[in-house]
Chain A
Amino acid sequence: MTTALVIEAASAGPARGQMGASLGFHIIFACFGIAFPAVLLVVHWIGLRRGDAVALLLARRWSKVMAVVFAVGAVSGTVLSYELGLLWPTLMGRYGAAYGIPFSVEAIWFFVEAIFTAIYLYGWRHLPPWLHWWTCVPLVVSGILGAMSVVAANSWMNQPSGFTLKNGRVSHVDPWAVVFNPATPYEVPHMILAAYMVTGFLVAGVYACGLLRGRNDRYHRLGFLVPFTLAGIAAPVQVVFGDSVARAIAKQQPVKFAAMEFVDHTHRGVTEWLGGIYYQGHVYFGVGIPKFDSLLVGYSPDTKIIGWDSVPAQDRPPVPDVIHLAFNVMVAIGVALVVLAAWQAWVWKFHRRVLMTRWFLVPAALSGLASIAAMESGWIVTEVGRQPWVVYKLLRTSDAVTTAGGVPVTLVMTLLIYAVLSGVVVFVPWLMSQRWRARESPPPSGGHSPGGRVPAGSGTPVG
């Protein structure tokens, strides 16, 4: 088994590293692509409907941030379409006829998104206000439909269906069954909700930082509340929905589920482990709740759960610890975010105000980073958990990898470029906000008065 692992690591390791890095990077920007237009649409609507200059200012500034983020998303998405072929030619050569279909649909939404982003971003000055607002609507639609098609492709890797094989080649395809494979109904909504959480909490987090620094004005409160509300609505739905996702995985990919929950052999009354590290039949440093895992999966403490011993060692995911801990991190963060959102919702219902205590604002400021961590963990669970397969039970990752040399070089390039880019993509919006603040606050004296940041009724162009 060790030799098998070594061989696999030697052949597919760099390619997996590059794909993982590219995907992990792109997915954050994809979240913005999916959910940011909706956030924008809401503040823009408030601004137009109520003639609210502060909301309009926010919408305008967010659209500029959106442009930068979308550009990086578009480019890193193009990278992925290349990498499918550059890194996994056998996957594409053998299954492209089926697997490619959802991607083809995605190309349409990619177009719509790129085109209307430009119209919306550069249309502030010359388009009639409501027409301009409507040019953002296609972005919301294309974000959701684009996510559907791409995630459907990933679902297909987990539950390949809709085709027949003849002599190792796809001989007949049923496009509907490919796109709506058994994993699509849960993977797609799970990702879209995650995108709304990541975007909402991240944007809200920026304004929570401002509120923490005493910039308690309408601009910051609105900038906090709108995205926080959207994310706060998505969070509880996500947690409830995620529970059914886990149950579906237990049914469709029992070995992945076994790794998620440390089920080393098939048995009844399975313990639910919170945290912990698995070593030779024991879980160390974990909190175990007896029979709870069985209860969660089958609503009965005696439910039988399939362990990873049901398949030979070479068909199991390599590191159950990573999968289990990633799964735990995702669930823990999800639940914590629901609590955070519920707290603010309570205060809003009875007091109509934003919570200003540090006990709330500090976690709120961090909520965006936390939701990114949760989402990335979720992807680790689904991607590492599927190993050693790239197409579940049909094609091994080590058999799909390119025979071309040079992947280690492109891996290093990818890591370098994305590391620099991550820095820049955080730095640029920060720079923008510095510039905006410098422009609007009257020099030295007015600098510290709360509420003095945004000139009332300033409809003046920001750029």
Chain B
Amino acid sequence: MNQSWESLVVVVSLFATMAAYALFAGADFGGGIWDLLAGRTKTGQRPRAAIDASVTPVWEGNQVWIVLGFVLVFTAYPVAFAAIMTSLFVPLSLSLLGILLRGIGFAFRHEAERPRTTQLSGVLFAASSLVAPFFLGAAVGAVTTGRVRTDAVGNVPSAWLTPTALMTGVLFVATCAYIGAVYLVGDSHQRGDEEMVKYFSRRAVAAGVVTGVLAAVNMVFLRTNAAYVFHRLVTVAVPLVAVSVIAGVAALALIVLRRVWLLRVAAGIAVTAVVAAWGVAQYPYLLPGSLTLSQGSAPLASLQSEVVVMVLAALLVVPSFAYLYWLQQHGRLEVTEDSDQLQRAVAADTTAPAAPPASHGHPVVATVVVGAAVLELAREAVARVRRHDR
């Protein structure tokens, strides 16, 4: 495979974009997950306020990474894009629903004044933080198994209703929770809120361990479902996998040692290395088994324009983001009403009976029930298709 350098730059940019989405939007999704699990109104008030102050100024920008990912794929690899969007119509539509509801919940939760509406938008925000990463993960898992094919017609439920794809979805959710907790440890440290540092540290450790276990289980599934990718993961991509494991373990140690910045770096490396390992493992395939990079690439000039776009992104977007995060980390940005609420909560340990969202137990149960029902229905559909095939 002799690729032009433009082609390599574009494919690396694409994986870098996905890594950025996983890290930044992943942290936001993770915030939503911890918001969901923060318990009853009173006990959950302080972590919720911390999550809110950390995530609010940055979520909108972080969400743009997925748009950049989309435009990169449909400009540089149009055929693969068409195949993915057709075969995985269902999980991608559901992930979109998650992103949509989440944004809406976010936009309005600060403006709603009555507890009912605050609660409703809070629930939207939190529940959709589970939905979006799960289905994006399922879509990624489906691609790795090689069941997304260019010759497919119509949506293909069997492409993503595999153990690998569903497990990848769960893994994405766990990873988001992990990244989110790590990010919040750092932010709470920045605010000098020791109790929240402890709170999120415990959760970061738990999520980190769970993520590691899920990743290991998924390797087992990959072995049977995605032979090509598995083979390359344990041969060519093994250094990257090792880096990820080492960084992940180091991160656990760093949480205990309270080295906040190193912790972020280590967690970032762990996730980025996994994304990179996936990329290397799939090479030279865009869609394992049916479309290689050189078969699926757009003409050279299109790739060149994507290179230009990435250079522009490096020149304009990276510094802007750096400035935004610098301001945010140095307390120059103020999510007015809510940081008042945060200060109140920090100062007097929940003196104000502000009564924002009450029990989040119902939405959790509802999400699980609805999720199970959706999966069951989808499985039924697959079974019917299989019967039909016979």
Once the chains bind, are A118 and B93 in contact (CB under 8 Å)? no
- CB of B309 within 8 Å of the partner chain: yes
In the assembled complex, the CB of A129 is this many whole angstroms from the nearest CB of chain B, namely 14
Stretch at the interface among A92-100, A209-217, A380-388: A92-100
Once the chains bind, are B333 and A82 in contact (CB under 8 Å)? no
Looking at the complex, which one of B56, B299, B327, B336 makes contact with A173 (CB distance below 8 Å)? B299
- CB of B89 within 8 Å of the partner chain: yes
Once the chains bind, are A111 and B317 in contact (CB under 8 Å)? yes
B-side contacts of A244, CB under 8 Å: none
Once the chains bind, are A404 and B86 in contact (CB under 8 Å)? yes
- CB of B369 within 8 Å of the partner chain: no
Once the chains bind, are A115 and B81 in contact (CB under 8 Å)? no
Query: Given the known A-B contacts A81-B67, A123-B332, are A115 and B317 also in contact in the complex, defined by CB atoms under 8 Å?
Result: yes
Once the chains bind, are A86 and B78 in contact (CB under 8 Å)? no
Complex Cα distance, B302 from A463, in Å, reads 47
- CB of B199 within 8 Å of the partner chain: no
Interface residues of A in 425-451 (CB under 8 A from B): 428, 431-432, 435
B-side contacts of A114, CB under 8 Å: 60-61, 63-64
A-side contacts of B327, CB under 8 Å: 119, 123, 127
Once the chains bind, are B75 and A100 in contact (CB under 8 Å)? yes
In the assembled complex, the CB of A398 is this many whole angstroms from the nearest CB of chain B, namely 16
Chain B residues touching A, majority SS = helix
Once the chains bind, are A104 and B61 in contact (CB under 8 Å)? no
Once the chains bind, are B74 and A424 in contact (CB under 8 Å)? no
B-side contacts of A78, CB under 8 Å: 63, 66-67, 96, 99-100, 103
In the assembled complex, the CB of B169 is this many whole angstroms from the nearest CB of chain A, namely 17
Query: Given the known A-B contacts A115-B321, A403-B86, are A170 and B299 also in contact in the complex, defined by CB atoms under 8 Å?
Result: yes
B-side contacts of A90, CB under 8 Å: 82
Output the nearest chain A residue to B155 by Cβ-Cβ distance: A404
Complex Cα distance, B323 from A70, in Å, reads 20
- CB of A72 within 8 Å of the partner chain: yes
Looking at the complex, which one of A101, A170, A405, A421 makes contact with B104 (CB distance below 8 Å)? A421
A-side contacts of B87, CB under 8 Å: 404
Complex Cα distance, B76 from A90, in Å, reads 15
Complex Cα distance, B106 from A428, in Å, reads 13
- CB of A338 within 8 Å of the partner chain: no
Query: Which among B78, B101, B312 has the highest number of chain A CB atoms within 10 Å?
Result: B78
Once the chains bind, are B299 and A417 in contact (CB under 8 Å)? no
Once the chains bind, are B299 and A172 in contact (CB under 8 Å)? yes
Interface residues of A in 59-117 (CB under 8 A from B): 67-68, 70-72, 74-79, 81-82, 84-86, 89-90, 92-98, 100-101, 103-108, 110-112, 114-117
Complex Cα distance, B75 from A122, in Å, reads 35
Complex Cα distance, B333 from A70, in Å, reads 18
Complex Cα distance, B153 from A86, in Å, reads 13
Stretch at the interface among B107-115, B204-212, B213-221: B107-115
Query: Given the known A-B contacts A79-B96, A79-B100, are A118 and B333 also in contact in the complex, defined by CB atoms under 8 Å?
Result: yes
In the assembled complex, the CB of A31 is this many whole angstroms from the nearest CB of chain B, namely 17
- CB of A126 within 8 Å of the partner chain: yes
B-side contacts of A85, CB under 8 Å: 70, 74, 81-82, 84-85, 92
Q: Place the interface of chain A in its size category.
A: 35 or more
Query: Given the known A-B contacts A107-B64, A107-B67, A463-B337, are A100 and B103 also in contact in the complex, defined by CB atoms under 8 Å?
Result: no
- CB of A300 within 8 Å of the partner chain: no
Complex Cα distance, B130 from A420, in Å, reads 22
Output the nearest chain A residue to B88 by Cβ-Cβ distance: A404
A-side contacts of B113, CB under 8 Å: 431, 435
Interface residues of A in 211-250 (CB under 8 A from B): none
Interface membership of chain B positions 50-67, coded 1 if the CB is closer than 8 angstroms to chain A and 0 otherwise: 000000111011011011
Once the chains bind, are B313 and A111 in contact (CB under 8 Å)? yes
- CB of B329 within 8 Å of the partner chain: no
A-side contacts of B321, CB under 8 Å: 111, 115
Query: Which among A108, A115, A138, A421 has the highest number of chain B CB atoms within 10 Å?
Result: A115
In the assembled complex, the CB of B104 is this many whole angstroms from the nearest CB of chain A, namely 6
Output the nearest chain B residue to A435 by Cβ-Cβ distance: B113
Complex Cα distance, B85 from A116, in Å, reads 31
- CB of B190 within 8 Å of the partner chain: no
Output the nearest chain B residue to A68 by Cβ-Cβ distance: B107
Output the nearest chain B residue to A127 by Cβ-Cβ distance: B332
Complex Cα distance, B66 from A426, in Å, reads 28
A-side contacts of B78, CB under 8 Å: 92-97, 100, 170
- CB of A124 within 8 Å of the partner chain: yes
- CB of B367 within 8 Å of the partner chain: no
In the assembled complex, the CB of B88 is this many whole angstroms from the nearest CB of chain A, namely 9
A residues within 8 Å of B by Cβ? Answer: 67-68, 70-72, 74-79, 81-82, 84-86, 89-90, 92-98, 100-101, 103-108, 110-112, 114-119, 121-127, 138, 163, 170-175, 402-406, 410, 413, 417, 421, 424, 428, 431-432, 435, 461, 463
List 11 A–B pairs whose Cβ atoms lie within 8 Å, in order of A's numbering: A71-B106, A82-B93, A85-B74, A96-B81, A97-B299, A100-B71, A108-B317, A163-B299, A173-B301, A431-B111, A461-B336
- List 14 other contacts, CB 8 Å, given A85-B92, A107-B313, A108-B309: A75-B104, A75-B107, A82-B96, A84-B74, A86-B89, A98-B302, A114-B60, A122-B333, A123-B327, A172-B301, A173-B301, A173-B305, A404-B90, A405-B155
Please list the 9 inter-chain residue pairs (A to B) with the smallest Cβ-Cβ separation, ordered nearest first. Answer: A100-B75, A93-B82, A96-B78, A85-B85, A75-B103, A97-B298, A463-B336, A71-B107, A404-B89
